[in-house]
């Protein structure tokens, strides 16, 4: 379960955009009219919303209903005042603003500049209208709620396609793609994965090892032997058996995708694990990390690649 702050209420302020847009046909992603659905309709189309709220209240308000290409200063002023009103309530934890993608970055920066809020204000949007066969709005709303409820969330943020951006850097970089936003060289502030928020730039304290000091006291020749293996097409179990027979103490496996392992290799690794060899699993994908609990093997520490995970496991084994 995701840890959240001790607030009981969250506010959604709707302003229109494609997220509230409708088209004549479900296959039409471009010839639609933005800002057609009201905030209640928008939220009632989000499956799992009540579960995500975990008993908290959601207060909704239609602040505007426009295509954000037509955003104006008067609407900005009203929106900022409604945000300020909500943020001032002691039981309100933060605000989600639904917005069109076209000028989202301007509104985000305006709100950051005039409110400089300590509590989070999270703008979200959609690239496809609500009537699309696979609309992206409902998932973006759920992700925005996960972010606004996260204890680490601060200031004005934008959430789209599973990425979290800060107001200063966020920019629409693509006219059509679902992940249309970027923070340029700064990169995203974090990601939302299966309803959980993962912030970029994990603090160094997250990687402290209980027994790491022993590495300096113990002769290097006595450090536990830990090897790296990769899962790939045609992976062969004999490498695992040979290593176990030779006395390996730990194996770190770079699995495919979300931590899957070739069946031949998995059988040998499970066998090695049952013989006392410590086995840890990473992904061979250079970005992201394993999401969810793998069935058989333990995951390596999040945020470390396979080679750094090898060091982590070696230090862990120095008991
Ligand atoms: C808008 O910005 O309101 C329309 C376009 C969009 O939301 O993607």
42 lines ligand 1 (CB under 6 A): no
69 lines ligand 1 (CB under 6 A): yes
pLDDT over threshold 70, residue 210: no
Q: Given the CA of residue 102, which atom of ligand 1 is nearest to it? A: 2
H helix or E strand, kind and range, residue 193 = strand 190-193
Q: If you average pLDDT over residues 76-99, what whole number do you get?
A: 97
* pTM attached to this predicted model: 0.86
Give the model's confidence band at 212: pLDDT under 50 very low, under 70 low, under 90 confident, else very high.
confident
* Tokens 């249309």, residue located: 180
Give, in order, the Cα–Cα distances in Å from 99 to each of 8, 81, 229, 245: 24, 16, 46, 60
Quote the crossing angle between the two packed helices 238-246 and 263-274, to the nearest 10°: 20
Collapsing DSSP to helix, strand or coil, 116 comes out as coil
CA–centroid distance, 161 to ligand 1, in Å, is 15
pLDDT over threshold 50, residue 2: no
User: What digits encode the pLDDT tens for the residues 134-171?
Assistant: 999 999 999 999 999 999 999 999 999 999 999 999 99
User: What digits encode the pLDDT tens for the residues 33-54?
Assistant: 999 999 999 999 999 999 999 9
Collapsing DSSP to helix, strand or coil, 309 comes out as helix
CA–centroid distance, 17 to ligand 1, in Å, is 4
- Measured CA to CA, the distance from residue 152 to residue 232 in angstroms comes to 37
If one counts every other C-beta atom within 10 angstroms of the C-beta of residue 167, the result is 21
């Amino acid at each position: 379960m995701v840890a959240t702050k001790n607030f009981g209420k969250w506010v959604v302020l709707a302003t229109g955009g494609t997220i509230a847009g409708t088209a004549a046909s479900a296959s039409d992603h471009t010839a639609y009219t933005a800002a057609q659905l009201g905030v209640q309709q928008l939220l009632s189309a989000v499956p799992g919303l009540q579960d995500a709220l975990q008993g908290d209240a959601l207060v909704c308000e239609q602040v505007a209903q426009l295509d954000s290409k037509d955003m104006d200063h008067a609407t900005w002023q009203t929106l900022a005042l409604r945000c300020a009103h909500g943020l001032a309530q002691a039981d309100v934890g933060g605000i989600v603003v639904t917005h069109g993608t076209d000028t989202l970055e301007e509104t985000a920066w305006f709100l950051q500049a005039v409110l400089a809020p300590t509590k989070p204000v999270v703008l979200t949007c959609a690239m496809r209208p609500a009537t699309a066969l696979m609309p992206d709005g409902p998932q973006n709303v759920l992700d925005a709620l996960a972010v606004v409820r996260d204890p680490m969330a601060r200031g004005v943020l934008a959430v789209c396609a599973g990425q979290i951006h800060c107001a200063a850097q966020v920019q629409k970089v693509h006219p059509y793609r679902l992940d249309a936003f970027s923070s340029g060289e700064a990169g995203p502030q974090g990601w939302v994965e299966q309803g959980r928020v993962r912030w970029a730039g994990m603090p160094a304290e997250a990687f402290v090892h209980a027994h790491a000091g022993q590495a300096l006291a113990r002769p290097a020749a006595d450090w536990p032997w830990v090897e790296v293996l990769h899962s790939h097409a045609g992976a062969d179990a004999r490498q695992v058996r040979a290593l176990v027979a030779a006395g390996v103490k730990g194996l770190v496996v770079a699995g495919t995708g979300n931590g899957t392992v070739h069946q031949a290799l998995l059988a040998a690794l499970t066998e090695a694990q049952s013989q006392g060899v410590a086995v840890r699993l990473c992904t061979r994908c250079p970005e992201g990390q394993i999401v969810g609990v793998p069935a058989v093997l333990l995951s390596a520490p999040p945020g470390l690649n396979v080679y750094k995970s090898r060091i982590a496991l070696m230090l862990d084994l120095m008991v």
